[in-house]
Structure 1
């Protein structure tokens, strides 16, 4: 009888030890979120005169991370490789004025839209270009892997009418070529373009005729990270309800343009 009791106790002890072991090997909850962004996309995310990454989306992400109890790291990436960076787990989210498209939805899980996005034509002040039709025979620049590039590529008639269609690593390089006369026009996001115009008063003008459909911005996550996506979405909803997102928007745009 004593042997039987001893055997039972031994089995119970092994079970307890196994249970303790499984607790110790349990993966710890993440304490940091890494945000991937193009650091040359003002006013959403860019570097200031002190080389710090700042912007509307940066402020929104910083506040969201704070409410989630997470540290936040902003990592500048090659925007044309954004999905590879995300799905390669080098970053946890894409938060940088990223348009939600059906094509991107195949590889990225998005938050709800938080801002509208229009693609506009920007030209030098005094340019004879007044509409998309006037781009025929002209040299036009866009940022590589941007919605502007997609819009022009899909509009076969427009693209075929151009004298030259150039893709740049960032919009700043495109505007520099516009300024020096190597381009006749730049097509880019309205928010980005108008912010750039505000810093170069009198140099450029925007043509208020959107190309393609009006899009929307969203925060991008890995397909399998639905739990993280839902947590961030809940915080964004909370920030909108309590007026925090409106406050941040007014700091960057002078008005509340958050959806």
Structure 2
């Protein structure tokens, strides 16, 4: 039989364990690649800011949860969600059928296109003019996936991968590569910080961004319902205007409630 001290010790330990579980349950852990403005970046003080950071904070507020952001490389996000190390990942992650086989996504909240960005004096105006040129991409991005599929068809001489968007765009600015292929909005925002660049070609991709989670995570439906409410009351549109200084286009996933995507 347990003596009184032993019983008290067990009760205290059980209480502490229950309290820890309660704290964990009230926290939503989100991984982010914070070199990806305007979607997510870190301020000089180390705080996370950006379009998707605002989305997460609002979702967490409405669910009475505390958001905890973790600084991670883009490719590391996929392993972190799969293992359950984080609840969600954000970083302008496109919903693709291949990704849906191994991950789950909330409903989307942003429609995007791809683009090729180059120097302001570049004469390139079409994808066909990339023949014989070297372009750069961010490793693990849909820009890299697009380049792998289209490089041979377009006659692209070489595709170079970079770990960070800034490194890629500096290479473009310095003329070491002809252009950078990637996501339109991210490049448009970056171009306000890095002069001497312009959009060479817009690539219709049908990409949509969402929060990514472990396959069949029970949080996905709950978060998606919250995102629907944010769309309905105009909060999502307000976040869009804050970061892009324009209202979202009617009918896009920023304003239209959509189902949770499923693999085909």
TM-score by length of 1: 0.84
Of 201, 204, 207 in structure 1, the residue corresponding to residue 197 of structure 2 is: 204
Equivalent residue, structure 2, for 1:20: none
Contact 2:125/2:201, CA 8 A, preserved across alignment: no
2:27 is the alignment partner of 1:32: yes
Structure 1 distance, partners of 2:127, 2:50, is 30
Equivalent residue, structure 2, for 1:247: 238
2:113 is the alignment partner of 1:118: yes
Measure how far apart 1:208 and its partner are: 4.0
Equivalent residue, structure 1, for 2:259: none
Structure 2 distance, partners of 1:115, 1:35, is 18
Q: Size of the alignment, in residue pairs?
A: 234
Structure in which a larger fraction of residues adopt helix? 1
Of 182, 189, 192 in structure 1, the residue corresponding to residue 176 of structure 2 is: 182
Structure 2 distance, partners of 1:71, 1:79, is 23
Of 150, 156, 160 in structure 1, the residue corresponding to residue 145 of structure 2 is: 150
Equivalent residue, structure 1, for 2:224: 233
Contact 1:141/1:185, CA 8 A, preserved across alignment: yes
Structure 2 distance, partners of 1:245, 1:156, is 36
Measure how far apart 1:254 and its partner are: 1.1
Structure 1 distance, partners of 2:199, 2:47, is 28
RMSD (CA atoms)? 2.0
Structure 1 distance, partners of 2:243, 2:58, is 15
SS of equivalent to 2:186: helix
SS of equivalent to 1:155: helix
Q: What aligned pairs does 1:1-259 form with structure 2 within 5 A after superposition? A: 28-29=21-22, 30-158=25-153, 161-201=155-195, 203-210=196-203, 213-225=205-217, 227-257=218-248, 258-259=254-255
Structure 1 distance, partners of 2:141, 2:180, is 12
Contact 1:148/1:189, CA 8 A, preserved across alignment: yes
Runs of 4+ residues over 3 Å off in structure 1: 23-29
Deviation readout 1:46-81 (Å, 9 max, x if unpaired): 123443221000011011101111111111111112
Measure how far apart 1:157 and its partner are: 2.6
